[in-house]
């Protein structure tokens, strides 16, 4: 199911405390980009190359649709598409 919301470009990635990938969007919101088959299929998020390829790609931002304030910057920022410790 597509999530309704205005398109916002991915500007970077980080992981949450459960090691799920989170995309940082241009609007200042964070959005989980889980690969959780069979429900959510985002195989690109599981490897650095795929994440790099998706930089600048727009995701529908539900938080913008709800008018939520921007999320705080990630506690553990990572290079866009980079692997920590690589």
Nearer to Zn ion, 27 or 54 (CB): 27
Q: Where in 21-80 is the site for Zn ion (CB under 5 A)?
A: 27, 29, 61, 63-64
Taking a C-beta distance cutoff of 8 angstroms, is the pair 61, 25 a contact? yes
Binding marks (x or -) toward Zn ion, 10..29, rule CB under 5 A?
A: -----------------x-x
**What's the min distance (Å) between Cβ of 74 and Zn ion?**
15
Taking a C-beta distance cutoff of 8 angstroms, is the pair 25, 8 a contact? yes
């Amino acid at each position: 199911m597509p999530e309704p919301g205005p398109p916002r470009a991915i500007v970077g990635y980080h992981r949450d405390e459960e090691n799920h990938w989170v995309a940082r969007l241009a609007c200042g919101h964070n959005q989980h980009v889980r690969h959780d088959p069979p429900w959510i299929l985002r195989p690109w998020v599981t490897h650095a190359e795929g994440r790099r390829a998706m930089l600048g790609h727009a995701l529908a931002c539900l938080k913008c649709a709800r008018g939520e304030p921007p999320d705080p910057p990630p506690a553990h920022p990572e290079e866009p598409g980079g692997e920590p410790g690589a």
